[in-house]
């Protein structure tokens, strides 16, 4: 499945940073912000921000800045943040329960409606008001409620079977936390959240810093040095 037509994946992945910045600007009573100001706050080149935002639509006259409320509304529409999206969690263990209990996803229109697990000792329990169901109920619930997203938080060896189950039930978007590459049919989008490989990157940084004798580098693709951008 493609990203939003026309927008490259790196640009798409930066849009939530702009969104969070604009929410704070709006809360602070700002009506206009410039790409330079956003760039300074987010440690990104202003030209990059203008390019990323040009995928949404044209905004006003160059040099005048972005109207905060218009840009927020465009980002919400473009990213589908205003639409309610319902998800299920497969694997009601430590991570699955933590994600299901996290209230912050509501700001992105995401509502986790149920959890599924193969462990009979967990079935029937509640997590933050959501019931843990047996896997045998997955297809029926997903079909009835037209659930669009499946969050996979089972051990690696069970992840492909979990993905097969959610895809067979009609889910087309998977947020996968298991450290494994899933095979899915065309038309199904998988977003991998590989925390272990991120940790490996941090570990590498720590080791390098220990070996360094003074100079601070800024190489790398995923991280930023200095204050965090988001």
- Short-list 182, 165, 173, 184, CA closest to 90: 165
Does residue 154 touch ligand NAD according to CB under 6 A? yes
Residues sharing a CB contact under 8 Å with residue 113, sequence separation 6 or more, in sequence order: 86, 87, 88, 130, 145, 147
* Alpha-carbon torsion (221, 224, 229, 230), positive or negative: positive
Q: Does 95 bind ligand NAD (CB under 6 A)?
A: yes
How many chain residues bind ligand NAD (CB under 6 A)?
23
Q: Tokens in use for 155? A: 């051990």
CB 142 within 8 A of CB 166: yes
Residue 133 within binding range of ligand NAD, rule CB under 6 A: no
The interface region with ligand NAD, picked from 59-67, 79-87, 99-107, 173-181 by CB under 6 A, is 173-181
Q: Does 119 bind ligand NAD (CB under 6 A)?
A: yes
Minimum CB distance to ligand NAD, residue 46 (Å): 35
Q: Looking at 161, 200, 202, 207, which residue binds ligand NAD (CB under 6 A)?
A: 161
Instruction: Answer yes or no: are the C-beta atoms of 64 and 37 closer than 8 Å.
Output: no
Binding of ligand NAD by 156 (CB under 6 A): yes
Q: Kindly list the residues in this chain that would bind ligand NAD in the complex (CB under 6 A).
A: 90-96, 117-119, 122, 135, 153-156, 158, 161-162, 177-179, 195
């Amino acid at each position: 499945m493609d990203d939003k037509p026309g927008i490259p994946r790196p640009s798409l992945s930066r849009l939530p940073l702009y969104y969070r910045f604009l929410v704070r600007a709006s809360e602070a009573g700002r009506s206009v912000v410039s790409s330079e100001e956003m760039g300074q706050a987010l440690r990104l080149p202003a030209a990059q921000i203008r390019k990323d935002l040009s995928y949404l639509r044209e905004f006003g006259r160059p040099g005048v800045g972005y109207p905060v409320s218009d840009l927020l509304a465009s980002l919400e529409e473009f990213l589908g943040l205003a639409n309610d999206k319902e998800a299920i969690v497969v694997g009601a263990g430590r991570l699955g329960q933590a994600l299901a209990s996290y209230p912050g996803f509501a700001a992105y229109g995401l509502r986790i409606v149920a959890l599924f697990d193969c462990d009979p000792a967990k079935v029937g329990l509640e997590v933050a008001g959501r019931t843990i169901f047996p896997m045998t109920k997955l297809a029926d619930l997903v079909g009835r409620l037209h659930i669009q997203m499946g969050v996979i938080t089972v051990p690696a060896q069970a992840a492909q079977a979990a993905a097969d189950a959610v895809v067979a039930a009609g889910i087309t978007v998977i947020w996968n936390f298991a450290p494994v590459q899933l095979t899915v049919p065309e038309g199904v989008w998988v977003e991998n959240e590989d925390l272990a490989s991120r940790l490996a990157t941090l570990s590498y940084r720590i080791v390098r810093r220990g070996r360094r004798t003074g100079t601070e580098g800024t190489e790398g693709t995923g991280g930023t040095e200095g204050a965090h951008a988001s």
